[in-house]
Amino acid sequence: MFRILFNAPEIPGNTGNAIRLAAVTGTELHLVKPLGFDFEDAKLRRAGLDYHDLAVVTVHEDLDAAFRALGEGRVFAYSSEGSTVYTEIAYQPGDILMFGKESVGLSAADKAHPRVTDLVRLPMLQGRRSMNLANCASVVVFEAWRQHGFAHA
């Protein structure tokens, strides 16, 4: 129903957790190279437990290749600099939920990409830089899924 896009994820455990998230919610997980790990990484396998075969995971060479493969759909780019709060969006099936790498988030070019519909943030206390990547994706996916009555649950 929804599509998660991690642009250049660095930490295998976060991607492993996102694989579990995709498996239990019916979302697709799209990963854009370069990846900071390979799929044989023990931390990735451990975090994903036995959900790897239950999730739809696709790896793309670059962001433009990912957008071409994903086709139509609104793209929400999540950043602490976003002006729209994630709960203010009426999510639609096919929406693409894009997150950046753990160390620096999305680049300025990624946030300004012509496919980006809106720059979105998750509220945090003042003086805090960021949340964990997998946690952010979980919060957003469950809000989008909640808005659709947890369809297929």
Read off the CATH number of the domain in which 60 is found. 3.40.1280.10
Domain carrying residue 72: 3-147
Sheet holding 75-78, edge to edge: 56-60, 28-32, 3-7, 96-99, 75-78, 116-121, 84-85
Cβ atoms 120, 84 nearer than 8 A:
yes
Residue 153 maps to a domain: no
Q: What is the pLDDT along the chain (153 residues), one digit of tens a residue?
A: 899 999 999 998 899 899 999 999 999 999 999 998 887 757 666 655 567 778 899 999 999 999 999 999 999 999 999 999 999 999 999 999 999 999 999 999 999 999 999 999 999 999 888 899 999 999 999 999 999 999 875
The one-character DSSP state at 107 is -
Residue 67 maps to a domain: yes
Q: State the pTM of this model.
A: 0.93
Residue 26 maps to a domain: yes
CA 132, 70, 54, 140 dihedral sign is positive
* Closest C-alpha among 51, 30, 151 to residue 97: 30
Residue 88 maps to a domain: yes
Structural domain total, the chain: 1
Residue 103 maps to a domain: yes
Element (H, E) at 96: strand 96-99
User: How far is the C-alpha of 39 from the C-alpha of 15, rounded, in Å?
Assistant: 10
Residue 152 maps to a domain: no
